[in-house]
Each structure stands twice: as C-alpha cells, then as structure tokens.
Chain A
Amino acid sequence: MTYSDPQIWLIIVILGIGTFVIRFSFLGLLGDRELPEWALRHLRYTPVAVLPAIITPLVLWPTATQGQLDPARLGAAAVALAVGYLSKNALAAIGAGMATLYALLYVMG
C-alpha cells in the first residue's frame, strides 16, 4: 500500500459520509418520494455486478503466487461458490472454501 496517512483517512471519511448519505437519502432528504422503477431495477443488481468483477482477477491471478494460476486457490474458490449457492449460508461457504484451500495447499506441498 503506497498511500499516505491523510490519503487513507480521506478514503475512510468520504466512504463513511457517502455511505451515510445513501442510507439516509430517502429517510431524510427525499421524504416519501418513490424511486422510479428503472432505478430500483438497477440497484437490485449492484452487489452481484461489482463483487464478481472484483473477485475474478483475485481468483485467476492471485498475488500470493505472483499472478500464476494456482490450482489450490482455484479449487477453494469453486468449493466456496458451490457451497454458498447450494446452502445460501455465507459462513458455511467461507468455512468450506478455506478448509479446501488448506487441504489442497497441504496435499500439493
């Protein structure tokens, strides 16, 4: 990380204010006005759009292996995705994913 201390605080404070404005928006500033249907439709998909875009390069080109495709990390990601999808339980998915990672790292030495 190459940011200066004030830069990191700037990120934290602006992210805090921005998040508050998003959460407070309709409660405080906009009153009882309804969001238009097209806006709601896009908001529904923001988490499933942003998070996979962040995940993909981390899974395919991990920094820990200098960007080389790593079977252990790939396997762990596949297990986490499958367990999360089938069980709808985020904690179970994290547990299964990390357990798979440790097992594969151990087996592959």
Chain B
Amino acid sequence: MLVVAPFGLLFGVVATEAGLPLSQVMGFSLLVIAGASQFTALQLMTENAPIIVVLASALAVNLRMAMYSASIAPHLGAAPLWQRAFIGYFNIDQTYALSIQKFDENPSAPVRWKVAYFFGAVTPICPIWYLATWAGAVLGSTIPPEFALDFAVPITFLALVAPALRSLAHIATALTAVVLSILLAWMPYNLWLLIAALVAMMVGAEIERRMTKAKGERA
C-alpha cells in the first residue's frame, strides 16, 4: 500500500534531472498529487509537446478517479461541503482503496465516522508523498548519468501497467495502444498519443461489452 514513498522519490529525482527547479517539482506533488499523471506530464514536457497535449494526456490518466468519486459519493456525500472539498483533493488511489473497502464493510456507519476514517487514511500517505518528492528533488542533482535514469520513467510506467493487465479486454486495450503509437508516430505535436489512447480505450470498452453480453446469453 505504501508505494508512495519510492514513487515520490523517483518523481523528485527525475523532475529535477529534467531541469525543473525545486519550487516546480514541489508544485506538481502538492497541487496534483497523482503520480502516474505527474510522470506523464513530465515525460511529454521533456519532449516539448504542445501544452494542450501535455494537459490532455496527463488529465486522461486521471479520468479513472471520476469512478472513485462516484463510488465514494454515496458514503460521504452527506458531509459538509468544506470536508468534501478536502476529500476531493486527497482522493488518490491509496486513500480511496483503503476507505471504500472499510465503507463497504460498514455501510450504515455514520457519515462523521466515515469522514474520520478517510482522513485517518490520508495522514500516513499524503505527507509521505510530499516529503519523498522533496527528498528526491534534493538528491536528484547529485546522481550521475551512469545510473541511466532516463529509463526510470518508462520502467515505472511499465511497472504500473503490467499489474493492471488483468483481463482480455485490458490486454487488448494495451496492445491496441502499442500498435497505434507505432503506426501513428509520424504525426506532429504528439497527436498520435491522444488518438492511440482514445481508440484503445474504445476497443477495451467494446470487448468488455461483448464479453458481458456473451456471458449473459450463456447463463
């Protein structure tokens, strides 16, 4: 669960190596707090992609969190607005996963208890993310090029994707993205990325729809 420390450290190191000053490295981790999305933005920035492509791609990586928001809303929707605003800010993979598991076990618990549990999950996780980023940024400038950190970002992305390939639909989605990113590599402004991702997403959704339907007909 506490994978945030090494990822934060790595982001701090790689962002500093890419040339960002400490203020901007910390700006990413404080304002965005979303590892995969921060790495996506950083990678595209080192390729000098147009700003709109950087933003669209990095936000696309975070779209899954709309699902988190929707699934946690029945539990926390009755909390005061200012509490929900903080919950929104801290609604990351780890805090969501811990909380929704607890809430589904105790669906009738009072809202105040659920809010307290959520912030209890935030306390050990989010400060570590900020601190690890800061430590990485300070270390980053002292790491020599022999460590081939240029390849730490693709390796990190692979490490995040591989465990998520849990069904035929997920694997087909990833394969579609791989093939299209090669076929469309000639496109300017990193447009291939948005097109490849969009088509791959539709392929995954369509396969899931057909498989669910086939299962329904058999039953």
Contacts and interface: CB of A to CB of B under 8 A. Distances in A.
Contacts of A94: 6, 10, 152, 155-156, 159
Interface stretch (B43-51, B100-108, B123-131, B132-140): B43-51
B157 interface: yes
A27 B61 contact: no
A1 B48 contact: yes
Contacts of A13: 27, 31
A77 B32 contact: no
Contacts of B173: 45, 48-49, 52
Q: How large is the interface on B (under 10, 10 to 19, 20 to 34, 35 or more residues)?
A: 35 or more
B163 A88 contact: yes
Contacts of A73: 151, 154
Given A24-B69, A80-B162, A51 B157 contact: yes
B209 A28 contact: no
B77 to A, nearest CB: 6
A93 to B, nearest CB: 4
Given A1-B18, A1-B46, A3-B45, A47 B164 contact: yes
Contact of B163 (A7, A12, A89): A89
A21 B8 CA distance: 22
Given A48-B170, A49-B204, A15 B197 contact: no
Interface residues of A, number: 74
Given A25-B66, A27-B84, A48 B159 contact: no
A19 B34 contact: yes
Q: Binding site of A, secondary structure by majority: helix, strand, loop or mixed?
A: helix
B88 A23 contact: yes
B34 A53 contact: no
A51 B156 CA distance: 10
A104 B154 CA distance: 17
Interface of A: 1-3, 7-16, 18-20, 22-28, 30-32, 34-35, 38, 40-60, 62-64, 73, 76-77, 80-85, 87-91, 93-94, 97-98, 101-102, 105
B103 to A, nearest CB: 13
Contacts of A90: 3, 156, 159-160, 162-163
Contact of B84 (A15, A28, A60): A28
B61 A50 contact: yes
A6 to B, nearest CB: 11
B71 to A, nearest CB: 8
B13 interface: no
Nearest to A61: B185
B63 A11 contact: no
Contacts of A41: 205, 208-209
B181 A53 contact: yes
Given A48-B165, A48-B174, A56-B177, A24 B84 contact: yes
Contacts of A34: 70
Given A81-B162, A93-B163, A97-B155, 8 more contacts: A23-B89, A46-B60, A46-B197, A51-B36, A57-B182, A59-B158, A62-B150, A94-B159
